[in-house]
Amino acid sequence: MAADKLHGDLVAALTAIPLIDPHSHIDPYAPTSRTLDDILGYHYYTELAHSAGMSQAPLAADVPPVERVRAILGHIDRFNNTAQYRWLIDILQSFLGWESNHVSAADADALFAKSEAVFGQADWEQQVFEKTNLEKIFLTNEFDDSLEGFDTARYVPCLRTDGLVFQLNLPVIRERLAKRTGIQVGDAATLRAAIRKLFEHFVAHGARACAISLPPSFTPVHIPSAEIDRVLSGFEPNDADAAVRASAVFWTIAECCREFALPFDLMIGVNRRVYRNGVYQGQDLFDSRTSLVQYQELFNAFPDVVFPVSVLSSFQNQELVSHSWIFPNVITSGHWWYSNIPTYIASDLRARLQAVPKTKQIGYYSDAYKLEFVRPKFGMYRSVLAHVLADEFVRPGILSETQAVELGRQLLRENVRQIFKI
């Protein structure tokens, strides 16, 4: 009972800390859900339902939302053992007043109707911020986003660069870049000028980070200007040029991060379209061939650039811990995707707290597509964090309960403020 009380007290204290969520996929023009369909349409639920036997037919765009909800809840008894199911129950209880710890297919119509009424309130966005104790949330912005029409103090822009690095050979990407910057990229000089202009635009609109998702095969290296000129002159589609071009663009982005003092979030290790017949956003996986040693040249070349790094497995977490232990500019960042379940969070968090300076850890980010998910995801992390703080620091007498909460505050909020200059 005493142990339960300590955990509960720590969770309550951590929950009182206003959140700054440093990575999400929120659309600032439509940040909240419209119905329960937007909740259950999150790829975790469609993946789990499909994996457990649901066909993809209910996921078609022309299927009425309520029918899709019925279909997914019709399979939920097959995955109600998962962490994602607990997120759903948290959302239903916190936002829809659901009083049960269970949900089934029989509840689909009533919950859908309730969600339409509640989510349709004029001030729903503000209600979600308040119920979540959320202060700011970072976005994932395409390089040509206008960044107009939303509050950038609340929704913090972040320049996402995947398309520039890996798809610059595509005419549509070059056209979008030229439209945003007024520069036609054809050599090293115009590449630098165009990317620098993007950074000027983003920084002027309050951007606090740059980010990219990287495949296991990628190894960034410095490319001489003459070689950049060659691979940008004709955009010939061959594999050798693609690797050189990607490194050239990536390195140029890193140079701009240094010039504009923006952290560069690296999300490392995703293999795209492994399960080619998977649901939307449910095709990508990871493997253990990725090594952070592939980034040694980058980390050494840019000591003034902060690199918050996310990895996908506990195996990679040990390597990340070691790199953050050694490199001043490498930061452990969140518990990403397939590592975002309590068992892996607990193990990875313990390793980070035992080995990495506490000022170099971004505890968590939601990766959410709708604001309603910030609360349950951070709630899961805070519960695990409370257990780790209790077991590793309070009970052994290393920290008082008050000091443990302050350590939690550092991971949840203060490091985000310091690293991203919020």
C-alpha–C-alpha distance, residues 275 and 102, integer Å: 30
341 and 396 inside one domain? yes
- State yes or no: pLDDT of 397 exceeds 50: yes
What would the pLDDT profile of 332-364 be if each residue is shown by its tens digit?
Answer: 999 999 999 999 999 999 999 999 999 999 999
The answer on pLDDT for 1 being more than 50 is no
Residues 152 and 265 grouped into a single domain: yes
The answer to whether 164 and 172 are in contact (CB under 8 A) is no
Report how far residue 394's alpha carbon sits from residue 387's, in angstroms, rounded to the nearest whole number.
Answer: 10
pTM of the model: 0.96
In a domain, 30, yes or no: no
Residue 333 lies in a domain: yes
Residues 114 and 145 in one domain: no
pLDDT of residue 237: 61
Same domain, 168 and 272: yes
pLDDT digits (tens, 9 = 90+) for 253-288: 999 999 999 999 999 999 998 889 999 988 989 888
- Domain annotation covers residue 233: yes
- In terms of domains, do 354 and 306 share one? yes
- Is 230 inside any structural domain? yes
User: Are 78 and 225 in the same domain?
Assistant: no
Query: Which is it for strands 134-138 and 270-271: parallel, antiparallel or unpaired?
Result: unpaired
> Quick one: 230 and 283 in the same domain?
yes
SS3 of the chain: helix, strand, coil, percent, to 5: 55, 10, 35
Same-domain pairing of 110 and 147: no
Using DSSP, state whether 155 is helix, strand or coil: strand
Domain that holds residue 204: 136-419
* Domain end point (choices 63, 94, 119): 119
Output 83 or 236, whichever has higher pLDDT: 83
Which CATH number characterizes residue 73's domain? 1.10.2020.10
Please identify, among 52, 85, 119, the residue that sits at the C-terminal boundary of a domain: 119
Task: Decide if 65 is inside a domain.
Answer: yes
Considering the domain architecture, whether residues 150 and 72 belong to the same structural domain is answered as no
What is the domain-level CATH number for residue 212?
A: 3.20.20.140
Helices of type H across 42-170: 43-51, 65-73, 83-96, 108-119, 124-132, 162-167
Q: Are residues 254 and 363 in the same domain?
A: yes
Q: What is the pLDDT of residue 288?
A: 81
412: nearest Cα among 28, 6, 134, 127: 134
* Together in a domain, 114 and 242: no
- Which amino acid would we find at residue 325? W
pLDDT tens profile 195-243: 999 999 999 999 999 999 999 999 999 999 999 999 998 776 667 789 9
Residue range 111-131, pLDDT digits in tens: 999 999 999 999 999 999 999
Whether residue 350 is contained in a domain is answered as: yes
The CA distance from 118 to 128, in Å, is 11
Query: Scanning the structure block, which residue is given the tokens 């379209």?
Result: 273
| Same domain as 52, residue 182 | no
Give the C-alpha distances (Å, rounded to integers) separating 278 from 72, 131, 158, 274.
15, 34, 28, 9
Which of these, 192, 201, 186, 191, lies nearest to 143 by C-alpha position? 201
What is the number of domains present in the chain?
2
pLDDT at 314: 86
SS3 for 177-190, per residue?
A: HHHHHCCCCCCHHH
Q: Coil, strand or helix: which one is 214?
A: strand
